[in-house]
Structure 1
């Protein structure tokens, strides 16, 4: 018994010893991991967002960035924190790490292959960073990976075949990089893969890809937007039985849609839009889980299959811009989940299913440019969620559904060119969210209401049968930009309240029965571009107050009863017509030229000094002989005959052009996209109004356009109604070529280009804070921009931290162009007006119209002429017209000098610039502190501002070889807070001496006796 007790005692002792040992090991591991995490914090330079990572805190498993299993660190998540260092190389000292997520930061460099030491890694997300180079060919070392996301970075080349060896992979995202090589056939070996996203790249297909990809029989999500991987959709796609989401949009696919595609029972999303698919849509559809279908912008023919009416979960149904015919199946109108229905620009006909909107919360109903007849369904807004009703260019008739009058959510009403009649539902006029009310070319009757929705911007009721007066309540239409009521039966006078609309750019009231005079108090029409009151019964004198209107370009007052003299009008008018009135006196000299030869006809009391206006010549005194009179009469008759003939030709041309335009509204525009878009060319073109202009110059006009579902975009229009000159065309092509092939967070994103025979449009992401020069040099009014809900003064908004942030952003963009693009790209026009700022003051390089690709790094290219802006041009470029990356470095240096001094690039006398001014002060040994911008200079920023000023001076050295590269300049800016020795210390001011270049074989320092770097 004693031996048994001893054995039990021994066993208990052993268990206690084991537990103590285990606890000791667990505590040791915990302490080791805590030390690693503190090293990571120190490596990231003790950022404020990790202030809760403290040495004394032993419970690091409670930190939100850290996940633990059984007390050991298994995951680290540092997302969207603006980290600009590489992932720490010692991170794998966390031995149990399975998850690493450093997405949405600013991490530079190549793929961190030291992560191979994380032997248990299952989840790796490095997306949305600045990685460059290729994915390593030995990436399969990470054999346990289940999730790999490297998207939205700058990886190039091939996707390595070794990716196919990651057998455990469930998720692979490589979208929106710069891959331009081959997609390996070995991806078909990923038998466990559930999500594959290869969208927005320029990959080439392997020879057997169409056969191998069907081995991915667990694949649920497959995105290949803009990849151009194959010519046709393989019929064997039907073997991918687990497929749920398929996006093959904008891949130039041809052929027909495989009949097997819609037999996949798990399929929920199908995006095939923007291809060249032809033939009919497969009639047999068994994919009962389908929620989203977009087959738009193809060449599909035939009818809409009846089986679509069985899809009870279908929410988004887009077949627009095809060649479909026949009627819409009645069952589609009864689908219970339908939210977005688009079939515009087809050849569909018949009546519309009456149940549309009665069973589902319809938000968008777009059926324009078809051949539909009959009435609109009564219940389109039954659930009160309809946003867009677009039914123009059909043969719909009858009255609008009364229920639309209660549709408070409606934003866009586009019903023009139909046969609608009767009164507009009273509530529709006042729908609180309505922005576009476009109902021209119908048969509507009734009167214009006194109250209109306060949100309406475009109000077009022309070519209808409206009658009555323009109500005095028109003064409340404060957001109306275009008021178009041509060709109706409006009567009464033009109310003076109409002159109180501050945003009005277009007023068309022609071909009505208006009487009275033009109100004299029209000075508030500061934005008015077009005024057309033709063919009414207006009388009295044309008010002199028309002349000061600053934006007026088109004025038509013809076919009225105006009398008196022709007022002094601005010569900037591009279209003037005062014909068929009772005007008297002499035509002002500025209009006595052939450009206005039809502007003053049929005014018996008017005369001119020249016969080109085709009206009576003013009395010249003694030269009135019968012979002269006869000769003049003959000349007048001949002139009139020629003028009438010319007018007939012009009218015939305009009629033919109008008919062609009506037949094919937007088809003449061609859109080429470089990003995923949710809008069409018609959305852009239709929204480009004078009211939306935000800039103009020799390059053309820039518009700010609000696109539904996408937000604001910036549209640069090259040319107008004439063929663009060769320089503008070359600039357009250069910008498209370069911006369509590069992607970087600090380079403005080109979304698409749109063009027709007359004009070229470039559509960019919109930058809320416009250009840097407007903020830096006080070219922007404090009241014109609102930041975080409150208006702030420019120098407060652009403090030094924001300026250094901008400098780093510009440097990152230029460094990418010079060092990571192949071939390198030289911008040639780097200046503050070409640096755009988003809502957080992140900088993006813009305007690539003068940019050029070099043959290879450091290669000199010779230009035919010197182009650019004074103050930013490198001296060797001016002297030799030769360009290299170093001319951009010079321009960047000027921007650094502007950021630190607040002075403009052309600061100095008529022969000098800011760069020369800065060098002169350096050579004189001036105190640098006295040169800096006093508005932002604070003691805490002094050393850093001096540091950046010196870098600006180095970048503007006269000798190209003495300038740093953009990569070196970027490193200096990123390390500007660190303290290094400066080589030989020179007496250049009171600023602390700090190094300007470290990543080089030689030490750089300012040579005060010359203008070069030693």
Structure 2
């Protein structure tokens, strides 16, 4: 055999030996991946995975090395759903370096099957549904350089074994349910550059371990809201020289800001907001020139703003609001060329604003409210053409408004109330395209109102100024106007009929002017109106009956005018929170609905008005009628009148005695316990009620029983008036619980007898004896909310569509808001739940059952409770460790009700991982699941998805673990109203950003969607 052919054969052998394995590898890994696809349930997003000669390296999700081996598998956001551990097939890809499963629906525990991926360096499992503890032997993934487990539901302690993954450069564990403290072994990760532990709310309080000093390569430390305490260590400025981002917001860090923190030359983002930092802000910023965002808001910082901040030429965001800073705003800040967000509100700053502020940068957000600043507004605030809002209320600003403020088309809100401005308002300010809220109250502005207002305006507040002239018809061009407050000016003339074209109005306040003429009769178009106040004017004419057709009117003040005629009898249709018709020339009798002490001051100084209730400060209608009769000289007619009056009194007394005798004989015998003991009944009446029309005795039977709970039974009793009923709650005393019953009874009578609100159940009267208690309420035709939400066989009438549920939430919130913010002293219900929210014939909600309610001695003051109160599923967590409670217990319970309305689930859940609706809802949210998956299937419609999502998130806020982080009922009500009106335009993204709506919520409905508003507490 020739040597040449042998050499050639050997050469071809070498070529074959190299080429064949590459093809074999591709075919083998193609098979592995197709198997993996099947094991993952053949997700539709992987339809393109089909066998071919070039597969799998030409598949979008796959990365290969030069030899054709799969090294990268990117399956992020592919809709992968699995409840089991990840298939071990993945590790058959022996060259796999990167596995990305971000944002899928992968459940179960940490996938230990990945331990067999011997070369894996990059692992991203974030935003899935993984739960349970991270295994103690997680360090078997020893080749990892990148590990991201963010936004899952991992619990237990963070294992110390993570400190053995010595190759790690990135470790993200944020937004989970970890407990215990952060292991000091993390300090062993000498190669670590990115560390994220934020939003682990269940971590025990922990301080920075000394071992963290070894993390010299850190570039980003992301640790907001993870229960950090103690002080920021001094070593930060000396060790972390590569740090670019430091986020320690929303913790409990105390002490001062280390001076050497500003020696970090590469630092670009510094967030220390919402902590307990004190002392002055260090001025040593000379070396920290890379800073882009600096946020020290919501601390206890003192001293002045360092002028050295002006040298931070890259700075775009400066947040120093809600501290105790004093002194002037340094002029140097106006020289920063990139400054966009400037928030220093709620401090004690003084002096004038830098004159060139806004001249050298595209200033977008400008908030200096609640300080002691003086002078005028700088001329160049809008020079960059990007200014969204001028928020400068509650200062000492003076002078006239500059002309530029009427020529700044980007403006969405102008809030200058509580200052000393004067002169006329620039005409252009009323007609700018983007302006939605203009708030100028409590200044000295003068001049006439504009002849035209731009259609986009939703809120105008100009109260307590010197505006004069008539109300221009041109104001009706603002078709979306919801709130108009022009009280205490010098406006005159008639109320324009055209004003009734503003169908979106919820509040119209024109008190304290010189308006004349009659109220327009066309006001029936104000179907959204809640508040109408026209007191202290010169209005005349009669009260139009059209006012009784406004279904939402709850606050009406027409006092101190020259209005005459009778009060329309249809007034009893309205459910007023406040009514004042005093100091007019009204005549006739007041409607029966108002013949009670709740309205005793509503009709004063109307000499020709009368009432049947002697407790109302008006003439008695019977006496007035008798005195108005023609006088006769015949003494016999006078005697006859006296006899008739005396007879009426005697007959009335006999009727009462007969009624009480029936009560005593039929109830006392059966229930007193002692045959010779006669019950003495005490009647307390709060409404005009003809008791003789109600057959209590024969109707208190099981056939009429509509509910029971606590210590009472509730019956529906028909009156002699067709179709009308009352509800009677009967409470029987027993010797072993006499004190408790007496306290409950007295609490309910005391509270309901003094509360008058359209969203709180009306107490008509009560009877009390030493043995029995009777409470007589208005009857609620649709009974309680829980019977509609949680009936065994779900009813699906139009009454519980989403719009109706939202109206129920608003009604209940209005009742609670009244209790917490309008009552003096405030009332805590302590047992808010869906079964204590009653529904009338039109599904309007009313708060009921005040047996556990308590009154606070002072607004906001904690109240001591000696025993656990409330209902399981609604009880806030602070009950477990404290007997000191405030109105935030009602907020928590109401948050549960909101979650019930959205999800249709019961407050206590069986057969779920979570044992309560609150836990289930928080898990659902923290696991980044689609919120629509949580909605009640009976009402799930795309057009309501945003509203339902917002109410779901509001329910989460209300059920926060810490009472201090829950919103007030006033804030809750505002957000619910915004949902109802559909005017909430803020994006609700992955970061739970409904929270900024709960600062100053008066303007949330009119705020325009803008990225600049992310942390804005004023708009």
TM-score interval for Structure 1 and Structure 2 normalised by the shorter chain: 0.5 to 0.7
Residues 281-328 of structure 1: CA deviation (Å, up to 9, x unaligned): 112112111111111111111111111111001111111111111111
**CA distance 1:590–1:819, change in 2 (3 Å):** closer
Cα gap change, 1:701 to 1:344, in 2 (>3 Å): farther
Q: Is the 8 Å Cα contact of residues 423 and 444 (structure 1) preserved in structure 2?
A: yes
Residue 485 of structure 2 corresponds to residue 455 of structure 1: no
Match of 2:378 in 1: 377
The separation in 2 between residues aligned to 1:77 and 1:90, in whole angstroms, is 15
Answer whether contact 2:891 2:959 (CA < 8 A) is retained: no
Task: Give, in angstroms, the shift of residue 114 of structure 1.
Answer: 1.4
The CA distance in 2 between the partners of 1:823 and 1:538, in whole Å, is 57
Does the aligned pair in 2 maintain the 1:825–1:851 contact within 8 Å? no
Matching of residue 283 in structure 1 with residue 286 in structure 2: no
Partners in 2 of 1:256 and 1:732 — Cα distance?
A: 44
Distance in 1 of aligned mates of 2:510 and 2:316: 42
Superposition deviation, residue 151 in structure 1: 0.9
35, 38, 43: which is aligned to 1:47?
43
Return the alpha-carbon distance in structure 2 between the equivalents of residues 13 and 811 of structure 1.
79
1:335-350, aligned counterparts within 5 Å?
Answer: 335-350=336-351
User: Is 2:909–2:916's contact at 8 Å kept on the other side of the alignment?
Assistant: no
Matched, 1:602 2:605: yes
Structure 1 residues 443, 251: CA separation in 2 closer, same or farther (over 3 Å shift)? same
Task: Give 1:564 shift.
Answer: 1.4
Alignment of 1:338-417 (within 5 A): 338-417=339-418
Cα 1:316–1:12, aligned 2, differ >3 Å: closer, same or farther?
Answer: farther
TM-fit CA distance, 1:31: 0.2
Q: Distance in 1 between matches of 2:269 and 2:72?
A: 32
Q: CA deviation at 1:832?
A: 4.4
1:757: how far off? 8.1
Write out aligned runs for 1:426-465 (5 A). 426-465=427-466
1:718–1:724: 8 Å Cα contact kept in structure 2?
yes
* Cα deviation code 1:402-447 (max 9, x no counterpart): 1121222211211110011122222221222222211100111222
How far apart in 2 are the matches of 1:497 and 1:68? 72
Would the alpha carbon gap of residues 762 and 295 (structure 1) be closer, same or farther in structure 2, given more than 3 Å must change?
Answer: farther
8 Å Cα contact 1:161/1:184 also seen in 2: yes
User: Paired residue for 1:687?
Assistant: none
Distance 2:941 2:408 in 1: 39
Q: Write out per-residue CA displacement over residues 459-487 of structure 1, whole angstroms, 9 at most, x where no aligned residue.
A: 11111111122111233222111111101
Aligned to 1:621: 626
Maintained 8 Å contact 2:875/2:889 = no
Q: Name 2:506's counterpart in structure 1.
A: 505
Contact conserved, 2:509 with 2:532, CA < 8 A, in 1? yes
Residues 135-174 of structure 1: pairs in structure 2 closer than 5 A: 135-174=134-173
- 2:988 counterpart residue number: none
Distance 1:321-1:538 versus aligned 2 partners, 3 A rule: same
1:495 aligns with 2:606: no
Change (3 A) 1:602 1:840: closer
Residue 539 (structure 1) shift: 1.0
In structure 2, relative to structure 1, the CA distance for the partners of 1:126 and 1:54 (3 Å cut) is: same
Q: Which moved more, 1:225-234 or 1:263-272?
A: 225-234
**Distance in 2, Cα, partners of 1:740 & 1:291:** 44
Deviates more, 1:693-702 or 1:586-595: 693-702
SS of 1:261's partner is helix
Could you say if the C-alpha distance between residues 695 and 258 of structure 1 is closer, same or farther in structure 2, counting changes exceeding 3 Å? same
- On the 8 A contact 2:543/2:567 being kept in 1, the answer is yes
Distance across 1 between alignment mates of 2:32 and 2:456: 58
Indicate whether 1:301 and 2:322 are aligned. no
- Asked if 1:22 is matched to 2:18, the reply is yes
Partner of 2:1002: none
Asked whether 1:724 is paired with 2:839, we answer no
Contact 2:540 2:561 in 1 (8 A): yes
- Counterpart of 1:81? 78
Indicate how the Cα distance of structure 1 residues 726 and 812 shifts in structure 2: closer, same or farther if over 3 A, else same.
closer
- Return the offset for 1:210: 3.2
How many angstroms does 1:739 deviate by? 13
Which residue does the alignment assign to 1:249? Answer: 249
- The 1:735/1:57 distance shift into structure 2, 3 A limit, reads farther
* Separation (CA, whole Å) in 2 of partners of 1:161 and 1:758: 38
Matched residue, 1:113: 112
In the TM superposition, residue 87 of structure 1 has moved relative to its aligned partner by 2.4
The change in CA–CA distance for 1:769 and 1:439 in structure 2 (over 3 A counts) is farther
Q: Is the 8 A contact 1:183 1:203 kept in 2?
A: no
| 1:477 corresponding residue in structure 2 | 478
Paired position in structure 2 for 1:194? 193
Residue in structure 1 matched with residue 778 of structure 2 by the alignment: none
Instruction: Deviation per CA, 1:40-65: give whole Å up to 9, x if none.
Output: 12112322211111124633212111
For the structure 1 residues 617 and 763, does the alpha-carbon distance in structure 2 shift closer, same or farther, using more than 3 Å as the test? closer
Aligned equivalents of 1:81, 1:135: Cα separation in 2: 24
Q: Secondary structure at the match of 2:154?
A: strand
Counterpart of 2:523 in 1: which secondary structure? coil
CA RMSD across the alignment: 4.1
Structure-1 separation of matches of 2:538 and 2:27 = 93
Change (3 A) 1:301 1:849: closer
Q: Within 5 Å, give how 1:884-899 maps onto structure 2.
A: none
Contact 2:542–2:566, Cα closer than 8 Å, also in 1: yes
User: Which residue of structure 1 lines up, in the alignment, with residue 797 of structure 2?
Assistant: none
Aligned residues of 1:184 and 1:206 also touching (Cα < 8 A):
no
Asked if 1:572 corresponds to 2:575, the answer is yes
Tell me the residue number matched to 1:992: none
2:552 corresponding residue in structure 1: 551
**Aligned with 1:582 (options 562, 580, 585):** 585
Distance 1:547 1:414 in 2: 35
| Contact in 1 for aligned 2:86/2:113 (Cα 8 Å) | no
Structure 1 spans left out of the alignment, 5+ residues: 629-691, 704-714, 742-753, 774-806, 854-1014
Distance 1:380 1:767, change over 3 A: farther
The match for 1:591 is: 594
Distance between the aligned counterparts of 1:341 and 1:300, measured in 2?
17
What is the deviation of 1:88?
2.0
CA shift at 1:337, angstroms? Answer: 0.6
- In the other structure, the counterpart of 2:93 is 94
CA–CA distance in structure 2, aligned partners of residues 75 and 589 of structure 1: 79
Q: Distance in 1 between matches of 2:576 and 2:876?
A: 37
Task: Report if aligned partners of 1:719, 1:759 keep a CA contact under 8 Å in 2.
Answer: no
* Cα offsets for 1:592-635 (capped at 9, x unmatched): 22222222222233233344332334424279999x9xxxxxxx
Cα displacement string for residues 555-596 of structure 1 (whole angstroms, at most 9, x for unaligned residues): 111111111112221351221111222222222232222222
3-state SS, counterpart of residue 277 of structure 1: strand
Contact conserved, 2:257 with 2:281, CA < 8 A, in 1? yes
Q: CA deviation at 1:765?
A: 13
In 1: Cα distance, 2:87 partner to 2:600 partner: 76
Residue 327 (1) aligns with residue 328 (2): yes
Residue pair 2:104, 2:128 contacting (<8 A) in 1 also: yes
Aligned-partner Cα distance in 1 for 2:323–2:43: 54
Matches within 5 A, 1:918-997: none
| Cα offsets for 1:27-86 (capped at 9, x unmatched) | 000000100111112112322211111124633212111112212211111122222114
> Secondary structure of the equivalent of 2:147?
strand
How far apart in 2 are the matches of 1:825 and 1:320? 30
- What TM-score comes out, normalization by structure 1 length? 0.66
The Cα offsets for residues 658-690 of structure 1, whole Å up to 9 and x where unpaired, read as: xxxxxxxxxxxxxxxxxxxxxxxxxxxxxxxxx
| Distance change (3 Å), C-alpha of 1:84 and 1:299 | same
Give the match's secondary structure for 2:251. coil
Contact 1:279 1:302 in 2 (8 A): yes
Instruction: State which drifts further: 496-505 or 81-90.
Output: 81-90
Q: 1:345, CA displacement in angstroms?
A: 0.7
- 8 Å CA contact 1:308, 1:332 repeated in 2: yes
CA distance in 2, matches of 1:116, 1:820: 36
